[in-house]
Amino acid sequence: MRFAVDTGGTFTDLLVEEDDGTLRMFKAATTPDDPIRGVIDSLQVAADGMEMPLGDLLGRGSLFIHGTTRAINAIITGNTAKTAFLTTAGHPDILVLREGGRSDVFNFTVPYPEPYVPRALTWEVAERINTDAEVLQPLDEAQVITIIDEMKAAGVEAVAVCLLWSIVNGAHEKRIGELLAEHMPGVPFTLSHQLNPSLREYRRASSTAIDASLKPLMGAYMRNLSQRLKDAGFGGRVLIVTSGAGVIDAADAAETPVHLINSGPSMAPVAGRHFTDVDAKAETAIVADTGGTTYDLSLVRRGRIPWTRETWVGGEYRGHMTGFPSVDVRSIGAGGGSIAWVDDGGLLHVGPQSASAVPGPAAYGNGGTEPTLTDACVVLGYVDPDFFLGGSMKLDAAAARSAIEDRLCARLNLSVEDAALAIVRIATENMVQAIMDITINQGIDPAKAVLIGGGGAAGLNSERIGARLGCPMVLIPDVGAALSAGGALMSDLMADARATLFTTSAEFDRDGVNGVLADLKARCEAFAAGPGAGAVRTEITYMAEARYPHQVWEIEVPLRGDSFGSEGDVRQLVEDFHAAHEEVFAIKDADSEIEVIGWSARVSCTLREGGIASLSDTAEGTGEQPSRKAWFGAGGWLDTGIRSFDSLSVDEPVSGPVIVENSFTTVVVGPGATVSRRPSGSLAIVPGGQD
């Protein structure tokens, strides 16, 4: 038995997959003060639903896969460890100067962002290594010990070490690590050449500082999670979702927590790729994961999940760069819990503020008074107050109506129904604009893409979004309410290895490159033989970071093998680079040589074959009414059919307005649209006209 848990801002999602493939979904409220309690709560809900003690359920488990926002939340809220930054003498401003970019180059009123580690906690170390790995100035160990004493006095809780050119000779960083272990036992540290041997100084320094600052918190979180699962009866393997659409062991996650920053959202495109292949056979899919707090967007193109090397925590140039490529996921503050409010000019806004899990929307009855998207959908008749989460949670329709009436109606001069519909429309438009940003700006026509709606709130307006974009189809998987957890079940155990070696196609250092690739291969094979032992399949892929001469930035080019045996292999790399450059920038210089500055390898260990099954044992509505009144704008209150997922025949279209629901989600299909069910269990919607 396998468990996959994704902790969101409002709900904690759980998928339980039995050895025969039977799949069940459960949800529990997220507990921000103690996220692990929410995880245990979701497992208890599952045990109750499967009519067995929690210990018996967990005792049957072999894998527990967890996606968490703990790391990124700690960075955003400033709850990381007090971290010191050690760097080469004369270069203390790496984290201050960054790379010089600005989100608005002509707006000089915006203050320069604070460095991740303040200058007051930055120490300069007397040492110097040059680009040829030669020691120009030996490490002053006596000074390092003095610095350690100063860090102790300052109450430092973690240390980041990033010395110039340690990527070609890491001896000085290693020695500093030894001195830290000896004189500051128990204080975690990160060495840049081990974590991120990248040529770019700021990115390497930033990733090192972020990683070190997260180690105390995430180390404690991983140990606490593993222990509490063990105490509850789980004796299997605990895996954590990474930013790179893979999983790693909890112990390894604690050692390199920088890889967990986009844990959770990175899994949605994995599930999206699966359902695109199974249900749509489309070349391009937009994967949208609508939670209670955020709207996470990603793409699938020709079966590939796009990556980005520009991964920021916070706004571009305003936040902090992680220094690692990750799945390209964009997020905006829009979800079921997004708060609707009116500005001083009388304009209605939805989000980015969220009611979150506590107190939640007004309809939850937990003290919330601000109107949210969920409240609007209750008022409009889209959500059945008596069947929220399969009836396990009753919603207060009167409270939802009062929140909209008290906060919005008078200021907008609208009826409650029209104000509620305005909330839905504005939330929809916010989501549409976010989709256009990641599609049109990359040369993708959203009208030729399939929209996949994931997350518990996806069904509320995905058909509207699809209609607005002109998408030919909207897919709502039956596990869509826990799309990221579904992706986690299908994910591979992964590890990356990187190295820096500069060479050009004109004077290609074949021996040096082959030596680097051999080392990367050995590291990947060691991972496959260790944590990846027992995998049903193992694959190693190799990449080169290449550019044209005089270019500032590189692009990654897949290698066709694990070594360069002839000049023909070098020419093939050059041709592949030209093709990749043309795809990214719509231009190539076929007569130019290329430069390669870095090499990487990724090992993927497949833990299970195939995708995931349809949900089983899912409550399918109250069965009391075949229809109910729902508000669709100009049409007013319309008799709207109520159908369960299972009541829809495969490939038999049903015309809207109709609401399709199960225990975990409500899918609104408006007038003019049609919906049918795929063999996989997914709902396929052909969007109609907008109201």
- Would you tell me how many other CB atoms lie within 10 Å of the CB of residue 258? 26
689 pLDDT band, cuts 50/70/90, is low
360 pLDDT band, cuts 50/70/90, is confident
Rounded Cα–Cα distance for residues 265 and 331 (Å)? 9
* Stretch among 252-266, 380-394, 612-626, 643-657 having the lowest mean pLDDT: 612-626
Per-residue pLDDT at 619 exceeds 70: no
pLDDT at 625: 53
Length of the chain: 691
* Stretch among 96-105, 169-178, 551-560 having the lowest mean pLDDT: 96-105
Phi, psi (rounded to 5 degrees) for 295: -120, 105
Per-residue pLDDT tens digits for 271-326 = 999 999 888 888 899 999 988 778 889 999 888 888 887 788 877 888 899 988 88
Instruction: Name which of 36, 54, 32 is nearest 45 in CA terms.
Output: 54
Check: CB of residue 494 under 8 Å from CB of residue 540.
no
Q: What residues contact 409, with CB distance under 8 A and at least 6 apart?
A: 415, 416, 419
Per-residue pLDDT at 264 exceeds 80: no
Rounded Cα–Cα distance for residues 128 and 408 (Å)? 63
Per-residue pLDDT at 117 exceeds 70: yes
Matching residue, tokens 């915006």? 110
126 compared with 456, residue with greater pLDDT? 126
Q: What residues contact 432, with CB distance under 8 A and at least 6 apart?
A: 465, 468, 469
Per-residue pLDDT tens digits for 629-661 = 999 987 789 999 999 888 888 888 999 899 998
User: For a pLDDT cut of 70, what percent of the chain falls above it?
Assistant: 98
> Beta strands 683-686 and 674-677: pairing type?
antiparallel
Per-residue pLDDT tens digits for 186-199 = 999 999 999 999 88
Reduce the DSSP state of residue 54 to 3 states and report it: helix
* Stretch among 46-50, 308-312, 339-343, 370-374 having the lowest mean pLDDT: 308-312
Rounded Cα–Cα distance for residues 270 and 274 (Å)? 7
pTM of the model: 0.88
Per-residue pLDDT tens digits for 55-102 = 999 999 999 999 988 888 888 888 899 999 999 999 999 999 988 778
175 pLDDT band, cuts 50/70/90, is very high
- CA distance readout (Å), 413 to 120, 221, 612: 54, 49, 49
Amino acid identity of 245? A
> Beta strands 295-301 and 284-290: pairing type?
antiparallel
| Helix H or strand E encompassing 144 | helix 141-154
17 compared with 281, residue with greater pLDDT? 17
Phi, psi (rounded to 5 degrees) for 357: -80, -30
- On average, the pLDDT of the chain sits at 91
pLDDT at 32: 82
Rounded Cα–Cα distance for residues 167 and 103 (Å)? 30
Angle 451-456-458 (CA atoms, 0-180°, nearest 5)? 30
List the structure tokens of 561.
């093998």
319 compared with 141, residue with greater pLDDT? 141
What are the structural domains of the chain? 492-606 (3.30.1490), 627-686 (no CATH)
pLDDT at 53: 96
Per-residue pLDDT tens digits for 364-412 = 998 889 999 999 999 999 999 988 877 778 899 999 999 999 999 999 9
List the structure tokens of 560.
């066709």
User: Measured on CA atoms in the order 607, 609, 610, 616, is the torsion positive or negative?
Assistant: negative
Q: Residue 139 burial by CB count (10 A; 0-12/13-18/19+): exposed, middle or buried? A: buried
pLDDT at 688: 84
List the structure tokens of 244.
């790179």
Amino acid identity of 400? A
Q: Please, which residues bridge with residue 254 across strands? A: none
Per-residue pLDDT tens digits for 143-173 = 999 999 999 999 999 999 999 999 999 999 9
User: For a pLDDT cut of 90, what percent of the chain falls above it?
Assistant: 69
Rounded Cα–Cα distance for residues 372 and 392 (Å)? 21
pLDDT at 393: 83
pLDDT at 455: 87
pLDDT at 323: 87
Check: CB of residue 373 under 8 Å from CB of residue 338.
yes
Per-residue pLDDT tens digits for 513-552 = 999 999 999 999 999 999 999 999 999 999 999 999 999 8
617 pLDDT band, cuts 50/70/90, is low
Rounded Cα–Cα distance for residues 615 and 665 (Å)? 13
* Stretch among 104-108, 130-134, 341-345, 615-619 having the lowest mean pLDDT: 615-619
pLDDT at 594: 97
